Amino acid sequence: MLTMGLRHRLPPHHREDSTKHLIKIATGMLATLVALILGLLISSAKATYDSETTEIMQSGVQIIALNRTLLSYGPQAQPVRDLLKRGVARNIERFWPGEGGHAKVANGNDPSGAGALEEAIRELAPQNESQVQLRSRALSQADELAKARWLFSEQTQNALPQVFLIVLGLWLVQLFAGLGLLAPLNSTSVIALVTCAISMSAAIFLILELSHPLHSVIQISSFPLTEALAVISR
């Protein structure tokens, strides 16, 4: 809007056809560059969102598989199963505040995390060869579950580098400044530029939302974990 208003105040030799032609070339280059970067960032953010969604689904499957192994071990593994239920409920409450209240299965002290779960499995005293194999399998499954949890926690901390947004913002300012120098000052041009600006803002909004799928409007569903908790609580 600023450049549209100032264009008519420029000296006549700044409004020659050759100058307009150069501005068209420059804005075309910037538009291509911005489109490329926006496409890459949206693709990267969507890949992050899909990856974390897949990890949540896999964690739900691993939880159910570990619970089945503990069930097969026998009644001696019931305290470990209770520990697993509390751990899943705590993680749901941690990553999706407000959704884990209905999922809590026990009160009292809640030992921390996967380390306590693995330690509880190690303390099981197998009575036969079958239980030895089941304990070994449960340890392996608990280890995989712990790795998935830490990987998910680390990925949720990855923020989009600030420099990307700063550089992208500068490019967009230059692009719209160039368009303002070329656009006639009328309502149709203003509406067109505002629509383009809103579209660019929406693209950046999608990038930021998909890059932080646990703290955004476009949020990963907790359904795989809540469903797994419902299954192991039966």
pLDDT digits (tens, 9 = 90+) for 1-13: 888 888 778 788 7
Asked whether residue 110 is domain-assigned, the answer is: yes
Q: Tell me: do 56 and 146 sit in the same domain.
A: yes
Q: Do 122 and 226 reside in the same domain of the chain? A: yes
Q: What pLDDT was estimated at residue 3?
A: 86
Unique residue bearing structure tokens 């306590």:
116
Token pair listed for 8: 């008519």
Q: What is the pLDDT of residue 199?
A: 93
Same domain, 100 and 195: no
154 and 198, same domain (yes or no): no
Residue 34 in any domain: the answer is no
Domains in the chain: how many in total?
Answer: 2
Tally of residues, the chain: 234
Contacts of 22 (CB under 8 A, 6+ apart): none
pLDDT of 201 reads 93
In a shared domain, residues 174 and 75: no
For the chain, which ranges sit under pLDDT 50? 100-112
Query: How far is residue 81's CA from residue 68's CA, in Å, rounded to a whole number?
Result: 10
Same domain for 200 and 101? no
pLDDT in tens, 140-191: 999 988 888 887 777 666 667 788 888 999 999 999 999 988 888 888 989 9
For 227, the token pair is: 């469903």
- What is the C-alpha separation between 62 and 149, in angstroms, rounded? 11
Give pTM, 2 decimals: 0.75
In a domain, 40, yes or no: no
If asked whether residues 152 and 188 sit together in one domain, one would say no
Considering the domain architecture, whether residues 165 and 154 belong to the same structural domain is answered as no
Please indicate, yes or no, whether residues 133 and 170 belong to a single structural domain of this protein: no
Q: Identify whether residues 143 and 82 lie together within a single domain.
A: yes
- Quick one: 152 and 190 in the same domain? no
**Which residues 6+ apart lie within 8 Å of 125 measured at CB?**
76
The pLDDT value recorded for residue 99 is 61
Domain of 171?
160-211
Please check whether residue 194 lies inside any domain of the structure. yes
Is 95 contained in some domain? yes
pLDDT of residue 64: 94
Residue 156: the pLDDT is: 65
Contacts of 109 (CB under 8 A, 6+ apart): none
Whether residue 35 is contained in a domain is answered as: no
pLDDT at 107: 39
Residue 205, domain member (yes or no): yes
* Rounded-to-integer distance, Cα 165 and Cα 163, Å: 5
Q: Are residues 193 and 102 in the same domain?
A: no
Residue 11: inside a domain, yes or no? no
